[in-house]
C-alpha cells in the first residue's frame, strides 16, 4: 500500500472496530464500472459493493433522482404517508405479480428479520403458535442480526454470540428428502437463496426450488426466498426465482434494489402480508424518500433495456471466463447472469484476487478456491473482455499452491 491509501488505512485501523478484513485500497471515486483509489490507481470494479452497484457507480439517472429528492424532502418517518414509498411499492408489485404487499427497511438483514418474524406471526395469528421453527440451509447467509445469523447456516458467524434464537433447524442445501423430513408440524417457514451468494455462488440444484414450493405448500409452511443478492436483475431476470417458475409467499430484497443507496424490502402475498398488523413491526428509516426515489430510478433503468443487455454481456463474460480453463487453473465457472464464480485449482483464490487487484481488477475471494464476480448489469462487452484479460494474467502469475 502506498501514499494516500496507506494513510487512510492507518487512520482507519486506529478508530474503527476491527471487524472487517480490508484490502489495502481506499476507494475515493467511482464512475460506471470503474473506481479510483486514493493514490489515483484505476480498477474495474467487479465486486460492485458486494453485488450492490447494479448500474455501476454514480449512474446519472440515480444521481438525478437522489439530487431531486434531496431538494424536496429527506425524511419524515412512517408516522405519515410517504408518496415516494407508495410509488415504489406500486412499481415493485407491478413487476412481481404474486406479491401484493411491501414493507421497506434499510438492509438485507432487516428485510430477512421482517420476513422471519412475519412467518412466525402468520402461524401465531392462525392459532398455531407451535408452528414457529424456521428451516434453513447449511452454509446459507441471511445477514448479521442475531436472528439472521442463527438462521444462516455458517457457524463462524454465530460463534461468541450465543445464546442464539431458538426454533431454527438446518438442512443440507439441495437435499429434497432432508427438507421433506424437516417440514413437520412445527415448521413455520423454509428460507432459501436461489443462488447461495456468500458461500460461493452456488446455484440451487435443478428442480430444488420447485420441490421446495411443492412440499411447503403441501405442509402449510411458508416459502421465503432470500433474493437480497440474486434479485433486481442480478441473474438476468428481475428475480432469480423467475428462472425456476416458482412463486414464494414472502421474498426479501436489498443490495441492487437501491443501486448503492441503502434500502431493503420485504414483498408478501396478500394472505401473509396482512399479518404485519399495525404496531407489530417497523423501522424509523424504512421507506425513506431518498432510498425510494433511487430505487424507483433503478427499477426504471432495469425496465428500459438494461436487463436484456446484461444477459448478452453476461453470456460473453461467462464464455470468456470458461475459456480461461485452458490455462489449467480454472476448475469451473458457475452462477447466472452477472453473479458468477470462478472456481480455481492449484492456486489460492486470495493470491489471484491480489494479482487481479495489482492489474486493475477488483474481484472477491471466497474461501480457498472461489472468486466472485458481480459487475454492473450495464457492463459493456469491451469492459467484460478487459476483465477476462486481467484475470487471465492474474491466474497465470499466481504462485502454485504447495
Ligand atoms: N441475504 C443474503 C443472501 C446476502 O447475500 C446478504 C448480504 O450479503 C444479506 C442477506 C444481508 O444483507 P445486508 O448486509 O444488507 O444486511
At 125, give phi and psi (nearest 5°). Answer: -65, -30
Active site amino acids:
141, 226, 255
Atom of ligand 1 nearest to the CA of 197: 5
Taken in order of first residue, the domains within the chain and their CATH numbers are 3-57+306-397 (3.90.1150.10), 76-287 (3.40.640.10)
Q: Which of 261, 323, 301, 310 is nearest to 66 (CA)?
A: 261
Strand blocks (E) in 100-209: 101-105, 133-137, 168-171, 187-192, 195-196, 202-203
pLDDT digits (tens, 9 = 90+) for 97-110: 999 999 999 999 99
pLDDT digits (tens, 9 = 90+) for 362-397: 999 999 999 999 999 999 999 999 999 999 999 999
The DSSP code sequence of 26-95 is: -EEEEEBTEEEETT--EEEESSHHHHT-TT-BS-HHHHHHHHHHHTT-----TTS--HHHHHHHHHHHHT
The three three-digit cell numbers of residue 57, written as one number: 457507480
Atom of ligand 1 nearest to the CA of 262: 15
Q: How far is the CA of 147 from the centre of ligand 1 (A)?
A: 13
Minimal-distance CA residue to ligand 1 atom 5: 229
Alpha-carbon torsion angle 268, 272, 276, 282, nearest 10: -20
d(CA 141, CA 59): 29
Minimal-distance CA residue to ligand 1 atom 10: 142
Question: Looking at residue 2, what is its pLDDT?
Answer: 63
Site to probe by mutation for ligand 1, drawn from 228, 248, 266, 374 as the one with most ligand atoms within 8 Å of Cβ, is 228
Question: Looking at residue 1, what is its pLDDT?
Answer: 54
**Ligand 1 surroundings by CB, under 6 angstroms:** 50, 107-109, 112, 141-143, 193, 197-198, 226, 228-229, 254
Q: Which of 384, 329, 387, 334 is nearest to 357 (CA)?
A: 387
Contacts of 376 (CB under 8 A, 6+ apart): 32, 33, 48, 53, 54, 55, 56, 338
Q: How far apart are the first and last CA of the chain?
A: 26
Q: Which residue has the cell 480490508?
A: 22
Minimal-distance CA residue to ligand 1 atom 13: 108
Q: How far is the CA of 109 from the centre of ligand 1 (A)?
A: 6
Question: Looking at residue 301, what is its pLDDT?
Answer: 97
Q: For the chain, which ranges sit under pLDDT 50?
A: none
Amino acid at each position: 500500500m502506498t501514499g494516500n491509501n496507506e494513510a487512510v488505512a492507518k487512520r482507519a485501523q486506529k478508530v474503527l472496530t476491527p471487524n472487517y478484513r480490508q484490502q489495502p485500497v481506499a476507494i475515493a471515486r467511482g464512475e460506471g464500472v470503474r473506481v479510483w483509489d486514493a493514490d489515483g490507481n484505476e480498477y474495474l470494479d467487479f465486486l460492485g459493493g458486494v453485488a450492490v452497484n447494479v448500474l455501476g457507480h454514480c449512474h446519472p439517472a440515480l444521481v438525478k433522482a437522489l439530487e431531486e429528492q434531496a431538494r424536496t424532502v429527506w425524511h419524515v418517518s412512517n408516522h405519515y404517508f410517504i408518496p415516494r414509498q407508495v410509488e415504489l411499492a406500486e412499481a415493485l408489485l407491478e413487476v412481481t405479480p404474486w406479491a401484493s404487499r411491501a414493507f421497506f427497511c434499510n438492509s438485507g438483514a432487516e428485510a430477512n428479520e421482517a420476513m422471519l418474524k412475519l412467518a412466525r406471526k402468520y402461524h401465531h395469528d392462525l392459532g398455531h403458535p407451535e408452528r414457529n421453527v424456521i428451516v434453513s440451509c447449511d452454509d446459507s447467509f441471511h445477514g448479521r442480526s442475531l436472528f439472521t445469523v442463527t438462521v444462516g447456516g455458517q457457524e463462524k458467524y454465530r460463534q461468541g454470540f450465543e445464546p442464539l434464537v431458538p426454533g431454527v433447524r438446518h438442512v443440507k442445501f439441495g437435499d429434497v428428502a432432508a427438507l421433506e423430513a424437516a417440514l413437520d408440524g412445527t415448521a413455520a417457514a423454509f428460507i432459501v437463496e436461489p443462488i447461495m451468494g456468500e458461500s460461493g455462488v452456488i446455484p440451487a440444484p435443478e428442480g430444488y426450488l420447485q420441490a421446495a414450493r411443492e412440499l411447503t405448500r403441501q405442509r402449510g409452511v411458508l416459502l421465503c426466498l432470500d433474493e437480497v443478492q440474486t434479485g433486481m436483475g442480478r441473474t438476468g431476470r428481475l428475480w432469480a426465482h423467475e428462472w425456476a417458475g416458482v412463486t414464494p409467499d414472502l421474498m426479501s430484497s436489498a443490495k441492487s434494489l437501491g443501486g448503492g443507496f441503502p434500502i431493503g424490502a420485504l414483498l408478501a402475498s396478500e394472505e401473509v402480508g396482512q399479518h404485519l398488523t399495525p404496531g407489530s413491526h417497523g423501522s424509523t428509516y424504512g421507506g425513506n424518500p431518498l432510498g425510494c426515489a433511487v430505487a424507483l430510478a433503478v427499477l426504471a433503468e432495469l425496465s428500459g433495456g438494461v436487463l436484456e443487455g446484461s444477459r448478452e454481456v453476461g453470456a460473453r463474460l461467462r464464455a470468456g471466463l470458461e475459456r480461461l480453463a485452458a490455462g489449467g487453473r480454472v476448475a469451473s465457472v458457475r452462477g447466472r447472469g452477472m453473479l458468477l464464480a470462478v472456481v480455481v485449482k492449484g492456486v489460492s483464490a486470495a493470491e489471484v484476487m491480489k494479482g487481479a487487484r495489482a492489474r486493475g481488477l477488483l474481484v472477491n475471494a471466497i474461501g480457498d478456491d472461489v472468486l466472485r464476480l458481480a459487475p454492473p448489469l450495464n457492463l459493456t462487452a469491451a469492459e467484460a473482455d478487459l476483465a477476462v484479460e486481467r484475470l487471465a494474467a492474474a491466474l497465470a502469475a499466481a504462485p502454485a499452491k504447495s
